[in-house]
Structure 1
Amino acid sequence: MHTFWDNIWKFPKFVFSVFIGFFLTAVYPIFQLSKNKKVNYFLLMSLLLVIIMLYLVLKSMLDYG
């Protein structure tokens, strides 16, 4: 029974490391692309567009203004 609780105790650490690994693996190509100035402007504009769209969707969903 002791090994069972050891495994249960280790599970949150494992899940956390999997999520961090997935995030770093998914974001690494973006960091590689951002070394180029032209692509950097495109990434900045895309990020700004995503933030604006998220704001507008949430504003509409929550019925503000």
Structure 2
Amino acid sequence: MNKFWYNINKFLRFIISVIAGFFLTTFYTIFELLKQKNKRLTTSIIIITFIGFITIILRQILGVR
């Protein structure tokens, strides 16, 4: 039974590290784009538009006003 819990613990640590790595890799590229002055406005508009569309879609799916 100890081996079972040990394996569960290892799997959870693996999943957490994969999720953290995904977000760090994704946000690193976004932050690098935001450092460049000529791309800052375009990147900000794209991010805000994306978040807006996701919000609208989720509200429609969940039926929330």
Tell me if TM exceeds 0.5: yes
Q: 1:31-46 to 2 correspondence within 5 Å?
A: 31-46=31-46
What's the % identity of the aligned pairs?
A: 36
1:2 aligns with 2:2: yes
1:58 aligns with 2:51: no
Q: CA RMSD of the aligned region, Å?
A: 2.1
What is the number of residues matched between the two proteins? 64
Which one has more relative contact order, counting CA pairs under 8 Å at least 6 apart? 2
1:14 aligns with 2:14: yes
Displacement of 1:19 in angstroms is 0.6
Normalized against structure 2, the TM-score is what? 0.71
Displacement of 1:11 in angstroms is 1.6
| Unpaired segments ≥5 residues, structure 1 | none
Higher helix share: 2
